[in-house]
Structure 1
Amino acid sequence: MEFKRESDYTGLTAAEAEHRLTKYGRNTLEQHKKKSPVLLFLGQFKDIMTIILIVCTGISAFMQDWTEAAVMIGIVVVNAFLGFIQEYRTEKTIEALRSMTALHARVLRDGRQIEISAEEIVPGDVVFVKGGDILPADGFIITSSGLTVDEAVLTGESAAVEKSELAGFDSAVYSGTLAISGSATVGVTDTGMNTKMGKISGMIQEVKEESTPLQKRLAKLGKYIVFACVLICVAVTFAGILRGEDIINMLLTGISLAVAAVPEGLPAIVTISLALGVQRMAANNALVRRLPAVETLGGTNVICSDKTGTLTQNKMSVREIRVPSEMLGGKADSASRAGDLRMLSNICRVCNNLSDATEQALKEIGGQEAEASAAEFVRIAEIPFDSVRKCMSVIVKNKQGEFFVMTKGGADVVLGKAGRYIENGRIKRLDPAALERLRSCNDRLASGALRVLAAAYRPIRPDEAEEYRSSKDKTKQARLESNLIFAGFIGLMDRPREEVPGAVQLCADAGIRTIMITGDHKITAAAIAREVNIPASRVLTGEEISQMSDAEFE
């Protein structure tokens, strides 16, 4: 952390930035040391089958069997060139892609905003971020104007996170995450390998590269061949000696037979097969860095996939709206029901930051009439959504000067915070029987492949609103979000991608199991899974995975 006082927020001088660049290094993730073309070519000769062929080539040349020697050395060289050309092309393509995606950032230097390469950012820099930017380094919010960030690259959570310098909000930002909307001024605390992304990269690079199953089998075959060649050579030589033959002639004969037993075409066949696989992958826009990786991919027997945005389109639309009067069997007149729906739409519109596809869809509920009704509420404070609470709340004030807390989030979470419900404009106690019927309705909606959200609210005193607004104390969240008045369910649909069912079926035909991992309601996920040919038994939630032992996971 290079920030020590408020004056640091004015940015760095060019001289200080240069000093820190020398001290901390460039803002890049360390890559494995790049191999020169010569080393890349020589690396093609290190597997045991190629070494056996080279040894056999030497033996054939020593015995002046030039034809055999020429054939074997030709196979070795062609095999090496095939592997080298494929890996060299891939490295060049990856380098070109990196140069195309090189990041730039606007920073404060010598009191002026300038644009520099993201690699030149150092701890202590003040960076300006807006919607659509990729965060270039780890840091904290100095000032924010509605900045929301997609942190899925780090956390896997698709919901955007609102960032603010105010107490009670998440003020940390991380390298590699995407600014969705708004803007902010960020103080940089860590760069390069010291960022969260850098530490993850470092852990990955520390993992020892293992041989693929094919490489292991070929290495084992190579050892068998060496053993068989030695055995043949010894047996032929010994048999000749017993018959009184010249020992040198018999030794040469044994060596010739051993060399003839070596399958010199095998390495070339393997390399050509893998190269064809690489070409097919390239035709489908997938780069394979090393030839043996194709075999590993071909040996896949389990694929674990996220749901939202991977198996589905990540385009939400509201399909069902349910208010308590419809779910609890009460008689409702149209005017009373309209009032209940108005409150539900107000919550969906006011408790909303338009930060993702779900919130965009909720904003459309009720049309222009609902928009006018929601405009009567002014937001005073917000308790932002996070992956632990799985809900969001806002404190609002209407034109009559009344204060409310409005909450929306996962159906189970919001129901757990509710102690009452609104039915035909009347507030009633949420007894166990009513709660069970609401949960049954939630399950029915979820089983129809809908993502179900719930909305609730309650009036609060002006002093409660002011107390939370002024302190942003997280300990007061539970009290604010207790004994809420349940307002209804919203069922949203995120349709599966058209190509997914066929792809999953192809995997199944090839003996590959596809498992869906999701943070959404399991019943909803299971309904989506059935649509894409994944059995419901292969749907796992993040909570279920965290409770698994290593043995169960494997």
Structure 2
Amino acid sequence: MSVDNFNISGLTDKEVLRAREEFGSNELVFKKESRLWIAVKGFIQEPMILLLLVASSIYFITGHTGDAIFLAAAIVLVSAISLYQDSRSRQALEKLKVLSQPHSKVIRNGQVVEINSDELVIGDCLMVEEGTIIAADGTIVHSNDFSVNESTLTGESLSVYKDSSKKDNIIYRGTTVASGLAIAEVTAIGNQTEIGKVGKSLEDITEEKTPLEIQINDFVKKMVIIGAVVFLIVWALNYLKSQDVLDSLLNALTLAMSILPEEIPVAFTTFMALGAWRLMRMGIVVKQMKTVETLGSATVICTDKTGTITQNKMSLAGLFLLSSEKISRIDHDLNPEETELIRTAMWASEPIPFDPMELALHQAYQQYFQEDERSDYKMVHEYPIGGKPPMMTHIFENEDGNRIIAAKGAPEAFLPISNLTEMEQQKVDEAVHKLAEEGYRVFGVGEAIFEGKDYPQKQQDFIFDFKGLVAFYDPPKENIETVF
């Protein structure tokens, strides 16, 4: 596509140099620390490890070499496992930080050129298209059927439509273009992008101690206090009796050591290290040994469903017809009313679908209709997803002037703008709740009649004939049973 069509010339070479001098380059810069030193420091600060070190040292001092070597061997084993898994996990986390397209298309000097993403500057006209990862934050100045998957920032798998006329006309670094093309003026680069701010904020997070760590700290403090008191009392009594400083000191240390339950920290740290090792062998990133204890004490685990435990491949699973007031499954031959509901829902979708649910509707239409009408109709008007609750409407016409006005969206969106009675609204509400309880994603479908070309400004101004509900099922991933 020619740049002349956009009437955008972009920055000149001098403007690029000036912007780079003023704002810097498009690099994510994080605090660099020695990973080995961080791991060693964190390991040494563990109360149980400190207790083992003290006990091992005292055993060496008092001549109990066998016990001292046993504790030292336990410390070496636990530290080796801990440092190895920490190194593996930190390498994996470092790779996750690098989330950007290596090259980007920009308009400079009136020409579309491809540059390294690090060379983007404030004011650049960034061109993004379907399948690319956006390399900087920017404001859309031109777009064509443009939508973005912002799951890296929001966690929501559904694509978001954006254009220069909408309030939400910002694109963000690290998000993926789901469809269409857009040109955006870069407004933030590097650490000033939204994803850069998120990464930078992670450096300032203060880790909270787990409940078990708090209990262990309290246990170690009590044991140290008791051991110290006993040590001082025994040392003083022995010294008063024998007047031998060294002999009384060794007797006091021996008695103090008998109070310290050094087997507990050996068993505890060893089992946690072995648990972290098992998790690591399963491909799980274990940053710290205490993760094992935290995971073991968890009673409820909350996780995103779509695309995480499911395949994010929607299939049409059920229909609710208002005329029959019953829910039917897509596992039998459908009657004409049911196929007509699928047809209306298909017309309410994008002509070239990319959303999993719209793909499922088009596939169902192909399955149940031998005669394909899609090539005979052209979309003459579109109302994109909007409103609260959201809905979308498409208007198609063929050469004979036959018109189709179809809409789909949240079932609640149709209640105030359709011809439903109070009793019918109650039936629809009951069907929605029943399908939702079974884990289905539910959309309402409606059709309208309108004469003339002066279409309403808002799709909610149409009077819709509510047709029914379509329910979608997102199948779980094949290996999900082993995960749970």
List per-residue Cα deviations over 1:87-120 (Å, max 9, x = no partner): 2233234445666976432233454444444333
Q: How far apart, CA to CA, are the structure 2 residues paired with 1:249 and 1:77?
A: 31
**Preserved contact between residue 229 and residue 261 of structure 1 (Cα < 8 Å):** yes
List per-residue Cα deviations over 1:413-440 (Å, max 9, x = no partner): 2234212xxxxxxxxxx32233334444
**Preserved contact between residue 29 and residue 192 of structure 1 (Cα < 8 Å):** yes
Q: How far apart, CA to CA, are the structure 1 residues paired with 2:312 and 2:51?
A: 53
Please give the residue correspondences for 1:70-109 in structure 2 after superposition, counting only pairs within 5 Å: 75-95=74-94, 103-109=102-108
List per-residue Cα deviations over 1:210-268 (Å, max 9, x = no partner): 12333323322221221122122122124335646545532332123324544555555
Partner of 2:378: 378
**Preserved contact between residue 151 and residue 178 of structure 1 (Cα < 8 Å):** yes
Partner of 2:475: 495
Change (3 A) 1:502 1:113: same
CA displacement at 1:282 relative to structure 2? 2.3
Equivalent residue of 2:307, what SS? coil
For 1:126, the aligned partner's letter is: C
Change (3 A) 1:387 1:43: farther
* Unpaired segments ≥5 residues, structure 1: 1-5, 329-336, 420-429, 469-475, 505-554
Please give the residue correspondences for 1:333-348 in structure 2 after superposition, counting only pairs within 5 Å: 338=336, 342=340, 345-348=343-346
Give the alignment partner of residue 434 of structure 1, picking from 424, 432, 440.
Answer: 424
**Preserved contact between residue 347 and residue 406 of structure 1 (Cα < 8 Å):** yes
Partner of 1:174: 172
Change (3 A) 1:229 1:122: same
CA displacement at 1:177 relative to structure 2? 1.8
Q: How far apart, CA to CA, are the structure 1 residues paired with 2:202 and 2:259?
A: 42
Q: What TM-score does the superposition give when structure 1 sets the normalisation length?
A: 0.72
Partner of 2:274: 276
Change (3 A) 1:275 1:19: farther
CA displacement at 1:387 relative to structure 2? 8.6
For 2:469, the aligned partner's letter is: F
**Preserved contact between residue 127 and residue 185 of structure 1 (Cα < 8 Å):** yes
Equivalent residue of 1:298, what SS? helix
**Preserved contact between residue 403 and residue 461 of structure 1 (Cα < 8 Å):** no
Change (3 A) 1:363 1:176: same
Equivalent residue of 1:147, what SS? strand
CA displacement at 1:302 relative to structure 2? 1.0
Equivalent residue of 1:486, what SS? strand
CA displacement at 1:73 relative to structure 2? 5.2
Change (3 A) 1:248 1:284: closer
List per-residue Cα deviations over 1:160-180 (Å, max 9, x = no partner): 222333x34743222222212
Equivalent residue of 1:305, what SS? coil
List per-residue Cα deviations over 1:112-133 (Å, max 9, x = no partner): 4444443333322222222222
Q: How far apart, CA to CA, are the structure 2 residues paired with 1:106 and 1:136?
A: 10
Please give the residue correspondences for 1:515-534 in structure 2 after superposition, counting only pairs within 5 Å: none
Partner of 2:461: 479
Partner of 1:367: 366
Q: How far apart, CA to CA, are the structure 1 residues paired with 2:61 and 2:21?
A: 57
Give the alignment partner of residue 210 of structure 1, picking from 208, 211, 226.
Answer: 208
CA displacement at 1:20 relative to structure 2? 3.4
Partner of 1:251: 249
Partner of 1:47: 46
CA displacement at 1:303 relative to structure 2? 0.9
Equivalent residue of 2:11, what SS? coil
Which deviates more, 212-221 or 66-75?
Answer: 66-75
Please give the residue correspondences for 1:21-420 in structure 2 after superposition, counting only pairs within 5 Å: 21-55=20-54, 75-95=74-94, 103-165=102-164, 167-168=165-166, 170-241=168-239, 243=241, 245-246=243-244, 248-259=246-257, 261-264=259-262, 266-327=264-325, 338=336, 342=340, 345-352=343-350, 354-367=353-366, 372-385=372-385, 388-401=388-401, 405-419=405-419
**Preserved contact between residue 396 and residue 403 of structure 1 (Cα < 8 Å):** yes
* Unpaired segments ≥5 residues, structure 2: 1-5, 327-334
Equivalent residue of 1:122, what SS? coil
For 1:433, the aligned partner's letter is: M
Equivalent residue of 1:235, what SS? helix
Equivalent residue of 2:466, what SS? strand
For 1:151, the aligned partner's letter is: E
Change (3 A) 1:321 1:234: closer
For 1:319, the aligned partner's letter is: A
**Preserved contact between residue 12 and residue 110 of structure 1 (Cα < 8 Å):** yes
Q: What TM-score does the superposition give when structure 2 sets the normalisation length?
A: 0.81
List per-residue Cα deviations over 1:370-411 (Å, max 9, x = no partner): 874344443233332259433212344454547665321122
Change (3 A) 1:237 1:181: same
**Preserved contact between residue 16 and residue 121 of structure 2 (Cα < 8 Å):** yes
Q: How far apart, CA to CA, are the structure 1 residues paired with 2:388 and 2:199?
A: 25
Change (3 A) 1:101 1:147: closer
For 2:184, the aligned partner's letter is: V
Equivalent residue of 1:294, what SS? helix
Q: How far apart, CA to CA, are the structure 1 residues paired with 2:107 and 2:476?
A: 44
**Preserved contact between residue 134 and residue 175 of structure 1 (Cα < 8 Å):** yes
Change (3 A) 1:105 1:260: farther
Q: How far apart, CA to CA, are the structure 2 residues paired with 1:388 and 1:116?
A: 41
Q: How far apart, CA to CA, are the structure 1 residues paired with 2:265 and 2:440?
A: 53
**Preserved contact between residue 223 and residue 260 of structure 2 (Cα < 8 Å):** yes
**Preserved contact between residue 51 and residue 265 of structure 2 (Cα < 8 Å):** no
Identity %: 28
Which deviates more, 299-308 or 107-116?
Answer: 107-116
How many aligned positions are there? 469
Q: How far apart, CA to CA, are the structure 2 residues paired with 1:441 and 1:68?
A: 70
Over the aligned positions, Cα root-mean-square deviation in angstroms equals 3.7
CA displacement at 1:28 relative to structure 2? 4.5
**Preserved contact between residue 86 and residue 275 of structure 1 (Cα < 8 Å):** no
